[in-house]
Amino acid sequence: MLAEGLTGKPCSATIETVTQARLMTLDVVMLRRRMQDDPRLSRALLMAASADLRQLVAHVEG
């Protein structure tokens, strides 16, 4: 979960796939370093996190 990687807090959800899937992990220290070096990456991740939040709010408001 992207937000957990950015905040350093534990994951707030458990995830179970319904089909076979690959898991990708990111090194948080490296990610944060890249974000400092590349503002475009920071903006892209912020936009992705914002989209996730909008989707969650829409789901809750139903």
Asked whether residue 45 is assigned to any structural domain, the reply reads yes
Extract the tokens encoding 45: 């991740």
Position with higher pLDDT, 13 vs 2? 13
Count: domains in the chain:
1
Asked whether residue 3 is assigned to any structural domain, the reply reads no
**Cα–Cα distance, 53 to 1 (Å, whole number):** 12
The answer to whether residues 26 and 5 touch, using CB atoms and an 8 Å cutoff, is yes
Average pLDDT for residues 56-62, to the nearest whole number? 93
Asked whether residue 20 is assigned to any structural domain, the reply reads no
pLDDT of residue 49: 86
Q: Percent of the chain beyond pLDDT 90?
A: 47
The answer to whether residue 43 scores a pLDDT higher than 90 is yes
Place of tokens 């939040």: 53
Average pLDDT for residues 23-49, to the nearest whole number? 90
Asked whether residue 62 is assigned to any structural domain, the reply reads yes
Place of tokens 């796939």: 17
Which residues constitute the domain of residue 55? 28-62
In DSSP notation, 27-47 reads: -HHHHHHHHHH-HHHHHHHHH
